[in-house]
Amino acid sequence: MSNKFDALKNDDSGDESGNKDLHNAELQTPVIIPHGDHKLQYNYWLWYSCRPPGKQTVVQSYDQHLKLIGRFGSVEQFWAIYSHLVRPSELQSHSDFHLFKVGIKPMWEDEANKKGGKWIVRLRKGLASRCWENLVLAMLGEQFMVGQEICGAVVSIRFQEDIISVWNKTASDQATTARIRDTLRRVLNFPPSTILEYKTHVDSLKDNSSFRNTDVFTR
């Protein structure tokens, strides 16, 4: 199997010509799970984006930077994709991996996301690859125990820090968001003093930012 990421890792041109075919065809194709594979509870798709620093003024400009790497619905299909990917710590700055349930795009405006928000953990450089793998395995293994509330997860590589975030559907459900927070702290083996931040997607749309003006939680 070739490395699907080879064709993407140096492409930050914003050319949307390749995305048009994806939106019209591959995004609508059902995930076929081979007989004998270990089926996951949900089907997932993995996206990559790399954007120049600075604010994005229109939604479409963000959409154009999203590139679909692959889709999977079994343990075997996941490892076939994941084992051929560059690790997050090797990505250039302002790159992101987005792992979401099939049908949910990694955008604030998506129907499944717009009433939700995300937990944010800021990491010092060098920790992103390990934390991302632990988070992905926990999500695929349904360790969060919140039913359909989890939409997806993102690892964001930035210049001075890296950021892990977990997106959920219902920001107003405080009990569920608290369970996601506590599970995130546990699966990433963070000490109780670790600062986690929460931000609704409504607020992100207002200030056009994923990580500024967040609510901080230390326990």
Summarised one tens digit per residue, pLDDT across range 95-138 is 999 999 999 999 999 999 999 999 999 999 999 999 999 999 99
Domain-embedded: residue 26: no
Q: What is the rounded average pLDDT of the residues 55-73? A: 74
Is 4 a domain residue? no
Distances (CA, A) of 156 to 101, 131, 162: 18, 12, 6
Q: Is residue 10 part of a domain?
A: no
Q: Summarize pLDDT for 38-59 with one digit per residue, the tens.
A: 999 999 999 999 876 655 554 4
Looking up tokens 């984006």, which residue turns up? 49
155 located within any domain: yes
CATH of the domain at 54: 3.30.760.10
Position 3 in a domain? no
Residue identified by tokens 């792992």 is 99
Question: What would the pLDDT profile of 178-203 be if each residue is shown by its tens digit?
Answer: 999 999 999 999 887 788 999 999 99
CB burial of 177-214 (b: ≥16 within 10 Å; e: otherwise) equals bebbbebbbebbeeeeeeebbbbbbebbeeeeebbeeb
Is 80 exceeded by the pLDDT of residue 218? no
Is residue 122 in a domain? yes
Host domain of residue 203: 31-217
**For the chain, how many structural domains are there in total?**
1
pTM (2 decimals)? Answer: 0.84
User: So what's the pLDDT on residue 20?
Assistant: 46
